[in-house]
Structure 1
Amino acid sequence: MIWTHSIPQPPVPQFLRETLKDYPEIIQDIQDGLNEIVAKYLERKWGTPFNEVWEELESALSHHRFEASEALKEAEQTGDSQAIFRAKIKFDAVVEARRGPSLDELHDYFQAYKGAFE
């Protein structure tokens, strides 16, 4: 999704960017989800999507946790120790990401650009 709105894209929280730094595809998936929600609210011109953003983060991280879990199971079935190691590292990163995303950055974003949603 190309961002075409007059305000900046909503930020993926720093904690998530740091925790998932080795998985840019996950960070991009989260960014795309946030962008879609914000774009929808910008078009409506009412309300702010703060609650929906939280649900999007939870949903995206749950989805990627499931995928990482499945990849780990597949790697374990092959017995390939390097594949198991890589899959375990990714699984652990996604689990860690689910534990601590702070919404302060997103809250500040919506406060700074609240006029765009009215």
Structure 2
Amino acid sequence: MSELVEHPPVPQLLQEKLKDYPEILADLQDALNGVSRSPGMSKTRLTDEFEKAIWSLEDGLSHFMAEAASELRAAEASGDSALVAKAEAKWKLMANCRRSVPRCLDELGAFFGR
């Protein structure tokens, strides 16, 4: 009989902030699908998985922040003020989400029984 394996969901705070970016939420969830818990998992392993979840979110959000910065540079080069405003708003949102990861630790910790 196979063990029940669960993967943490993207924390609610990030789901709310990124509601207009379902593709980013899907990518973050894909990253978190590489992290799991299962019945009988040792505390050490749960701690390792908890840390992997944090790194997955931080790495993913850093990637999206870098992408948004590239989009902003391209928009600035185009001279299109509407495009610049949109790209700047996205970059600020990604930076805000990246800084919000510590606020997600309680939710992630609860998932891993911490």
Q: Does 2:103 correspond to 1:108? A: no
> Equivalent residue for 2:21?
23
TM-score normalised per structure 1: 0.78
RMSD: 2.0
Q: Matched residues, percent identical?
A: 40
Q: Name the structure, 1 or 2, with higher relative contact order (CA <8 Å, separation 6+).
A: 1
- 2:70 counterpart letter in structure 1: E
Q: Which contiguous aligned blocks of 4+ residues in structure 1 show a shift greater than 3 angstroms?
A: 5-9
Q: What's the offset of the Cα at 1:7?
A: 5.1
- 1:110 counterpart letter in structure 2: F
Contact kept in structure 2, 1:69 and 1:91, CA below 8 Å: yes
Q: Does 2:63 correspond to 1:63? A: yes
Q: What's the offset of the Cα at 1:6?
A: 4.0
1:45-84 CA-to-partner distances (Å, cap 9, x unmatched) read 6512001111111100110000000000000100111211
> Equivalent residue for 1:87?
87
Q: Unaligned stretches of 5+ in structure 2? A: none
Separation in 1 of the partners of 2:88 and 2:18?
Answer: 13
Please give the secondary structure, in 1, of the residue aligned with 2:19. coil
- 1:104 counterpart letter in structure 2: D
Aligned residues: 104
> Equivalent residue for 1:97?
97
Separation in 2 of the partners of 1:106 and 1:77?
Answer: 40
> Equivalent residue for 1:116?
none
TM-score normalised per structure 2: 0.80
